[in-house]
Structure 1
């Protein structure tokens, strides 16, 4: 029996995770979280982190909530784990009613029908009749592994083919109608398949249960894509394609990316972005935003750079405003004209799309651009209209403090756009014009400007941050959590160093730079040498460097690596932590994050001693 969601939420809230997990392994405080040696695999260095409502092991990947922990640690079934935790929390598990039992049995039957249909579609894809569908998927760059992982299939061309396939399993046509796979005939006409001659995309809910299908026709037929109808299991407004996989990715701090369609999601997964999801044939809805925010505080919405993409971004921004809070925001990526995530990853690979994600815009920027486009021009009437719209947008945010911040940010940009450029004091003479003294002005220099390599810049910033950590490991108690949040290439020197530094910190008795570097020299000598060659930070890497200057520089580099949207979320979390605890460590983290955010918004990087940052 499925238990009421409210009951399960209260049960989780009444079960403190550190105390529960502390029965199996020793837990210690680490910033706002707790850490421990993982109880599910042997390790000497803690990589098991415990948060407010879930745990995650960065070693073996184990994660879940209080119920999942009891199931994993003691081999209990879900009902057994719930019964035990409810007893400890003083709660009574709700009893089943006959009506509820019938509803759940019917839902289980429909899930099973859909699973059987998915298997039938997958078999047909490998038959001669499905060859066109398989060839289409392979031409789109999908690997055999990806095709199997997403359960892609072929519906077949014969009417009634699916009913014939599933009849030996005891599945009746009325069940196929109820599951959204067949359409009921009118006035005695026979039932017909909803999908035929289409590539099939299984749709699952957030718990991984099959709820419907989408189908794509090959060739020029219309409609190109068809989704299953609304059923007792499936709602287009509430579901997101790929959400079952994206939930797991979000637990592992992967970005949650909203693309446009099935193939975009699958291509992004194959390119290394498992947090990709897509709406199901509709514009993004309020219910889908709620699902996204359950996974991450700042999902990234990808839209095409054409007029339709601009309208979609505007609708999403307007929809989100009344739902925003300090723990809920959005970021936006505008794709190049004529491109989509599928084409970008096929042409440029993982790095091409990652560069777009790193350049994502916060909601405030998109909101201003959208409203400014609606009221173009510099006439007083147009400017007044735009100002009214900006104020109204900020007032639509229910959190008054957050709304005031949006109002300040939007109006700052509004007033900046209305300022006249400062006049030049000295106008350069035109080419060939004679100056006093009888000499002509020199010709202007048109020197080429070198292109900025974004990936190289990020790599240099990571090198500077890690060099500071190596030279001053006394930073680690303050920055360990922040260091763990950074998205670093898994196969690069930066990620190797981070793993080695955090492993050493877990067992080190003294935070001595010599001991840390000696340990890394024995494990990752090439990565250590790479970090120690960091240019431009000689004074800050010295043992005599001022601790305040070192810490400020560390957080500045962290800000540029983390990105503005994520940094805003970090600061909001720090504000809440300081408001809750009021301790000095929380206040210090809030100050550091604020300074880093301000430096990034200025687009500059300076240390206390006048050295220019090496990673601009």
Structure 2
């Protein structure tokens, strides 16, 4: 776990205006800075950055947070990656300490590691210094600029792109370029062609042959190809994909593995597609980068592609950070089916109840680009809407080719289903899929669970469980108390142990209160909504807290204004203290009401019993007295 004190120190050292300003054009407007929101399309600026509060907020879509939260939302980084990025920018090393919580905050999102010094998925490789990665990033950008310039004087490449229906605008958006035919064209782009960094970046290959001076010969990796820059989630060029213009082989050539580039964890077009993914509420995963660019030209700007490799769990993790709905589009041939099966395997561990994963199979003679051009965008949208759910595709894969009317066929189906069911989380979706198998195989549910070695009790309980977004539907007095704690976390210091335990044990959603109070006590006097919201957004209950955040910022105008005011202003400090005093009194009354309700429920249970033990009689008398005292305090 990253210590809370370090997070406070880090946010004190970085300037959110500089962080946001790298991605958004900001203009001074009074005490704050204004700009067009990067999280939704707008024509008039509603995005505000407060240098005094080190906080951003969009009055249009409700996006908000600290510099850490901005990198998480805009660049798609995990919490540890965002912290590490900011720490490196100010020369700090991220420390680690054991996590005191039982799953709420461990330095990463569920299912992800919490080590801060490495990303483990598409970030810089462990052990590579910031100076090295910066130098390689500069080299890749120089190469990208060179390729783009060469495209202007390459009629054969321009003709190829026009033939594929691409305009100059789309080519510019994706930074397309051209690598000329020849062995050492990059020599004109770099002052020292023999710099080993060019080899490390994957741009130059060292030959076993030697030149006249006895040195190993070098030559450009990419020659006579249309070049597709591959960017990471921060927009930096980390690799290239090259498409041959004639019938040469290989048809597509990617950069090799480098300290910047790992094709098993990167997705082509994700940087360009982020806003469209948010607006369309789904991401479309296709098989090649030409499909991505062509679909963007045709109006589907939310498409991405893997880079000549099968879809991996890391790819799925990255996609799920952007949206809860992922649709894979594959060709209908045998190769497409095999790719879809590998994608299914990668998706299973991430198949949560509140996520949608579908598989779209086009006719064998079409890819997404050709299908849209022949049948139109509406026809393709209909195909997307009718894409096959993960559950059905999984069922089809397991049952395909089995003689289900024979014991051997049913046994083989159960054998094939076992690793897939075990890969799924123990949730409602797995239970429903198991019931589908049981129905199709005409065997009891318990038998499917036993033979596949899946805990039937967990699965059956999950069958009745509501979706994740509803599991923590906090209402009434609990919701108001939770909202007050999130907005004014310093009031936790005024709660005694009995009051705090009441919030955790007497409420229907005690784990939410425990997560807030644990963070608030760790932050101490520095506990404020800004940093607390980033911490809660990183925890297991993030969807529930996001609703609380929106409620606070959308409907409480006084609170929202207070967030953007100068914390050093004496009047603001007094206003803050008065708000905290009022909320603290409201919290005390709310806890008293919770205890009163719990006492009343216990008395009701005891009063319904026909017989009582001496201990229960004593409890009944004591609870009656306690309830009467609380009733007077509440004025009931």
What's the TM-score, normalizing by structure 1? 0.54
1:326 equivalent in alignment to 2:348: no
Instruction: Report the counterpart of residue 247 of structure 2 in structure 1.
Output: 220
1:132 maps to 2:156: yes
Q: 2:314 matched to 1:292?
A: no
Distance 1:158 1:582 in 2: 73
Once residues 64 and 236 of structure 2 are traced to their aligned partners in structure 1, the CA distance between those partners, rounded to angstroms, is: 18
Decide which of 171, 194, 197 is 1:175's aligned counterpart: 197
CA 1:349–1:143 in 2, change beyond 3 Å: closer, same or farther?
farther
Indicate the SS of the match to 1:290: helix
CA distance 1:269–1:384, change in 2 (3 Å): same
Are positions 1:118 and 2:140 aligned together? no
1:150 aligns with 2:150: no
Q: How far 1:172 sits from its partner (Å)?
A: 5.2
Secondary structure at the aligned position of 2:471 is classed as: helix
Say if 2:94 is the partner of 1:67. no
Contact 1:391 1:407 in 2 (8 A): no
Taking only aligned residues, the RMSD between alpha carbons, in angstroms, comes to 4.4
Describe the shift of the 1:135–1:10 C-alpha distance in structure 2 as closer, same or farther (beyond 3 A): farther
**What is the CA–CA distance in structure 1 between the aligned matches of 2:276 and 2:58, rounded to whole Å?**
13
Q: What displacement does 1:306 show?
A: 1.2
2:471 matched residue in structure 1 = 576
Judge conservation of contact 2:354–2:469 (CA < 8 Å) in 1.
no
Query: Do structure 1's residue 344 and structure 2's residue 371 form an aligned pair?
Result: yes
Distance in 1 separating the partners of 2:93 and 2:476:
33
Matches within 5 A, 1:275-424: 275-376=302-403, 378-390=405-417, 393-415=420-442
8 Å CA contact 1:364–1:410 kept in 2: the answer is no
TM-superposed CA distance for 1:214, in Å, is 0.6
**Is the aligned partner of 1:267 residue 2:294?**
yes
Q: Secondary structure at the match of 1:332?
A: strand
Q: CA deviation at 1:393?
A: 3.0
Check 1:201–1:46 CA distance in 2 against 1; reply closer, same or farther (3 A cut).
Answer: closer
SS in 1 for 2:139: helix
The secondary structure found in structure 2 opposite 1:184 is strand
Q: 1:82 to 1:221 in 2, by over 3 A?
A: closer
Deviations 1:312-365 (A, max 9, x none): 212222232244333455211111221111112222332222111111121001
Change (3 A) 1:100 1:368: closer
C-alpha distance 106-47 of structure 1, shift in aligned 2 (>3 A): closer
| SS of aligned partner of 2:311 | coil
Q: 1:106 to 1:221 in 2, by over 3 A?
A: same
Instruction: Give SS of 1:267's match.
Output: helix
Cα offset, 1:195, TM superposition: 0.5
* Structure 2: gaps of 5 or more residues: 17-32, 49-54, 72-81, 96-115, 118-124, 211-215, 444-462, 481-507, 509-636
SS of equivalent to 1:299: strand
Deviation at 1:248, TM superposition (A): 2.9
**8 Å contact 1:241–1:279 — kept in the other structure?**
yes
Contact 1:390 1:411 in 2 (8 A): no
Match for residue 27 of structure 2?
none
CA 1:253 to 1:56, structure 2 compared with 1: closer, same or farther past 3 Å? farther
- The equivalent residue for 1:232 is 259
Contact 2:285 2:303 in 1 (8 A): yes
**Preserved contact between residue 281 and residue 324 of structure 2 (Cα < 8 Å):** no
What TM-score do the two structures reach when normalised by structure 2?
0.53
Equivalent-residue separation in structure 2 for 1:103 and 1:48 (angstroms): 34
Closer/same/farther in 2, CA of residues 46 and 346 from structure 1, 3 Å limit: same
Distance 1:159 1:101, change over 3 A: same
Q: Is the 8 A contact 1:141 1:346 kept in 2?
A: no
Residue-by-residue CA offset, 1:18-75 (whole Å, 9 max, x unaligned): xx9xxxxxxxxxxxxxxxxx986799x99999xxxx998595x79564327889xxxx
Asked if the contact 1:254/1:273 (under 8 Å) is kept, the reply is no
Taking a change above 3 Å as real, the CA distance of residues 57 and 269 of structure 1, as seen in their structure-2 partners, is farther
Count of residue pairs the alignment pairs up: 383
Q: How far is 1:228 from its partner?
A: 0.5
- Give the C-alpha shift of residue 387 in structure 1: 4.1
**The residue matched to 1:148 in structure 2 has which SS?**
helix
Tell me, which stretches of 5 or more residues in structure 1 are unaligned? 21-37, 72-80, 87-91, 417-567, 588-616
1:386–1:141 Cα change, 3 Å: same
Contact 2:179–2:226 under 8 Å retained in 1: yes
Asked if residue 208 in structure 1 is aligned to residue 235 in structure 2, the reply is yes
Higher relative contact order (CA 8 A, sep 6+): 2
CA distance in 1, matches of 2:416, 2:5: 39
Distance in 2, Cα, partners of 1:268 & 1:176: 33
CA 1:217–1:6 in structure 2 vs 1: closer, same or farther (change >3 Å)?
farther
Deviation at 1:177, TM superposition (A): 0.9
SS in structure 2 of the partner of residue 108 of structure 1? helix
Report 1:2-81 matches (<5 A): 59=60, 63=63, 65-67=65-67
When residues 582 and 395 of structure 1 are mapped into structure 2, their CA distance, relative to the original with a 3 A threshold, is farther
Residue 131 of structure 2 is aligned to residue 105 of structure 1? yes
Say if 2:34 and 2:45, in contact at 8 Å, map to a contact too: no
- Paired residues of 1:56 and 1:63 also in contact (CA < 8 A): yes
Deviations 1:367-404 (A, max 9, x none): 01111114245333213432454465323323255422
User: Which residue of 1 is the match for residue 451 of structure 2?
Assistant: none
Instruction: State the secondary structure of the residue aligned to 2:166.
Output: coil
SS of alignment partner, residue 188 of structure 2:
helix
Deviations 1:277-334 (A, max 9, x none): 1111111112212211221223111111111111221222223224433345521111
DSSP-derived class of the 1:272 partner: coil
1:505-555 deviation line (CA, Å, top 9, x unaligned): xxxxxxxxxxxxxxxxxxxxxxxxxxxxxxxxxxxxxxxxxxxxxxxxxxx
SS in 1 for 2:308: coil
Following TM superposition, by how much is the alpha carbon of 1:197 offset from its aligned partner in structure 2, in angstroms? 0.7
Partner SS for 2:208? coil
For residues 406 and 305 of structure 2, what CA distance do their matches in structure 1 show? 40
Supply the distance in 1 between the matched residues of 2:355 and 2:305 (Cα, whole angstroms): 19
